Structure 1
Amino acid sequence: MDRKQHIAIFTTASLPWMTGTAVNPLFRAAYLAKDGERKITLVIPWLSLKDQRLVYPNNTTFSSPSEQDTYLRQWLGERIAFISDFDIRFYPGKFAVDKRSILPVGDISEIIPDEEADIAVLEEPEHLTWFHHGKRWKTKFRIVVGIIHTNYLEYVKREKNGRFQAFFLKYVNSWVVSIYCHKVIRLSAATHYKVFLNPSTTDVVCTTTAEALAMGKIVVCANHPSNDFFKQFPNCRIYDDGNGFVEATRKALSEEPAPLTDAQRHELSWEAATKRFLRVSELNQVSAKKMEKNSSKKFASMSLNLWKNLEDTSAYFHHVALGSETTRRAFGAIPGSLYPDEEQRKELGLASHMGRGGSIKITD
């Protein structure tokens, strides 16, 4: 019997941390599940109480995954006009203070049982694969789609010896993404509040800019690949340098925003974003595709086999290297992040090592 296609969306953050990788995947899960044609699971990090206090604003903390699940659904329900049936599951995470990021602990791919492992969407694939040690994503899932949110290279360039670090990071990112993802989607080519000023060039595509335009505000932003999508809207003001920023801001403050057409509003909606995601990721075509062997294309087949062997070797090297605490620490991993600690295992109901039967499933 045919069954629904299962899409598991793994992300690196969760509300109440108001970051793009917490908000965007939550809406993506809701809108992908809207028509009921697919089974959707959102997989998010669970933090210990100590880390929650470092990350979540206004002293918001949760004593259990189910409590955070309730919070997420209530927040979402206040912002969408339909009931969306999707699951939420949690993986153990730790907050890296130096990186200001939540990093996964253990093999988080095991959160999804093998019989449900159709499609994985990795929101920030670099982030989720840097220190991954476990079953290879491409082996676990039939299709793995990476969605790049953040221009990490821009952040690194601002640090001491940033140019060298950025050069190294660029190739490490490309390496881990290529060995773990079949397809990568970049949200842009980068990788009264009536005026909204956003000089950021670190986001791949800025959610706050989209929200401001959807609310009918004038947006002043840099002439940068991260803002290419927004240039089509009449209320977007682009500048090239400091003087241009001042001039664009002054002009915006003296003008009234132009009304959005229905078509422009639609382009900024989650319905349109979901359609673009399905089109670019080609997930609608996955069910109809089967691996085919063509003996008449012997040379092409040999080339593909050679590439696969190189990729397999590269993935094996990464797996072995990241299985050592010493190597992990050398590459910047959080100490003790190879497996969940006793506290997180207890909170998530995991066995001594995360296994197929040890994941916790939270549903309505």
Structure 2
Amino acid sequence: MKDICIVTTASIPWLTGTAILPLARASALVQRGFSVRLYVPWVESKNAQSAIFPPGVTFSQPEEQRAYVKKWLEDKHLDAGAELAFYPAKYIAVFRSIYPSVNLAKFLPETDLLILEEPEHLFFFQPWNLSKLKAAKICGIVLTNYSYYCEDLFGKLSFALTPLYDAYDLFLKRKLPLVIRLSSALKGPENGVVSNVDGVLPKFFAPVSEKPEKPSTPFYYIGKFEWYKGFGELTELWTALPPEISKYPIDCFGGGSQMKEIIDTCKENGLQINHQPPTLSPEVKLAPYKTFINASVSEGLCTTSMEALAMGKWLVIPEHPSNEFFYGFSNCLVYRD
């Protein structure tokens, strides 16, 4: 086996796991001597790009985004030898997600191994094409807990719509010969594999030569400002802590449609959140903090928790199947209620 194709649902500069992790995976495979082509979505609409990329960052042509990604890889000291290819896609705001706008079975080339990052997402609107893919071996990697995502998206209708989505989700995954779930918190077929096939970038293990100014609090959170990311649970946790701890605010890095509502509600309930913008260099920005507080249980396996452990920080997390991988680390603190 020599040729590998990886297809994912997002791309740098969108700072999300499905953009970053496949890049790192492709880089690692190239270092091991494989010929790798990574397919990422090309969203042509500037308005859509503005909705998902950092402020002021948009591209007129795929070549511009390709150059941006290559520079990002070089800055992270990752091998940029994988071929970066684009498939036409559209951002659907109501789902806050990118979906292919082409028939992937026809668009993707024949290959020895095809790795589908989030196959249930890639083929959500074209399930009939899953069985038409041209590859000697096909592997799907399940990264996202869409049940939580649906509960947030559907609101009061989630009690009826989420079970329907879960059934459709499982139907898609069963069409693949091999499905790898990052944790047991993620749904998958009976013959699937549970394994952490992700990791963190090398720079999170390296000492930072020049640390930013010392923050006013030792505690931080990094991620989306969405209620399903555990902000309600975080507030409950914080108000139950002794005053010598709960007197501190939490610096929260990220953004999202519910940001103002979350900050205001948390403040009303005794938790002061200091908003910090998203960062392209978390290994630098987070260097002076001591503790990552992550109350979310909505992930399959949280990359930012892995990054905190790699940086030698204390990690505070709830007991949950999505967090089982972290229990054995000496700098991980698990709470049960």
Q: TM-score, normalised by structure 2?
A: 0.66
Distance in 2, Cα, partners of 1:123 & 1:99: 18
- Matched residues in 1 for 2:108 and 2:123: separation? 16
CA contact (8 A) 1:15 1:23 kept: yes
Q: Is the 8 A contact 1:93 1:103 kept in 2?
A: yes
> Paired residue for 1:73?
70
Q: Which residue of 1 aligns with 2:180?
A: 185
C-alpha contact 1:8 1:42 (8 A) present in aligned 2: yes
Q: Which amino acid aligns with 1:130?
A: F
Which residue among 230, 235, 238 is the counterpart of 2:326? 230
Matched residue SS, 2:51: helix
Equivalent residue, structure 2, for 1:52: 49
What is the CA-CA distance between 1:161 and the residue it aligns to? Answer: 2.1
Alpha-carbon offset, residue 140 of structure 1: 1.7
Aligned twin of 1:131: 125
Q: 1:7 Cα deviation (Å)?
A: 1.2
Q: How many percent of aligned residue pairs carry the same amino acid?
A: 39
Cα shift at 1:113? 2.4
Aligned CA distance change for structure 1 residues 122 and 139 (closer, same or farther; 3 Å): closer
Contact 2:2 2:35 in 1 (8 A): yes
Contact residue 146 and residue 183 of structure 1 kept, 8 A? yes
Deviation string 1:45-99 (CA, Å, 9 cap, x unpaired) is 001123112211112011111111111111111112x644211110111111111
1:24 is matched with which residue? 21
Distance 2:93 2:318 in 1: 29
CA 190–134 in structure 1, closer or farther in 2 if over 3 Å, else same:
closer
Larger RCO of the pair (alpha carbons < 8 Å, separation 6+): 1
8 Å Cα contact 2:37/2:82 also seen in 1: yes
Which of 8, 12, 21 is equivalent to 1:11? 8
Moved over 4 A (4+): none
Partner letter of residue 219 of structure 1? L
**Cα distance in 1, alignment partners of residues 121 and 133 from structure 2:** 19
Q: Distance in 2 between matches of 1:46 and 1:79?
A: 22
Task: Measure how far apart 1:135 and its partner are.
Answer: 4.3
Q: How many residue pairs are counted as aligned between the two chains?
A: 233
SS at match of 1:118: strand
The AA in structure 2 aligned to 1:176 is L
CA contact (8 A) 2:115 2:139 kept: yes
CA distance, structure 2, for counterparts of residue 134 and residue 164 of structure 1:
25
Q: Secondary structure at the match of 2:56?
A: coil
Q: Whose Rg is larger? A: 1
2:150 to 156, 159, 162: 156
Q: Give yes or no for contact 1:11–1:45 (8 Å, CA) kept in 2.
A: yes
Shifted more, 153-162 versus 182-191: the winner is 153-162
Where do residues 29-178 of structure 1 align in structure 2 (5 Å cutoff)?
29-36=26-33, 38-48=34-44, 49-80=46-77, 83-114=79-110, 117-132=111-126, 135-137=129-131, 139-158=133-152, 159-178=155-174
The answer to whether the 8 Å contact 2:73/2:80 transfers is no
SS in 1 for 2:90: strand
User: TM-score if structure 1 supplies the norm length?
Assistant: 0.61
- Specify the alignment match of 2:249 in structure 1: none
The one of 195, 200, 206 equivalent to 2:291 is 195
- Residue by residue over 1:155-207, the C-alpha shift from the partner in whole angstroms, topping out at 9 and shown as x without a partner, is 2234212122221111100101112x211111111114210011111110011
Q: Which runs of 5+ in 2 are unaligned?
A: 187-287
Give the 3-state SS of the residue equivalent to 1:18 in structure 2. coil
SS of residue in 1 equivalent to 2:94: coil
1 or 2, which has the higher helix percentage? 1
| Aligned-partner residue type, residue 154 of structure 1 | Y
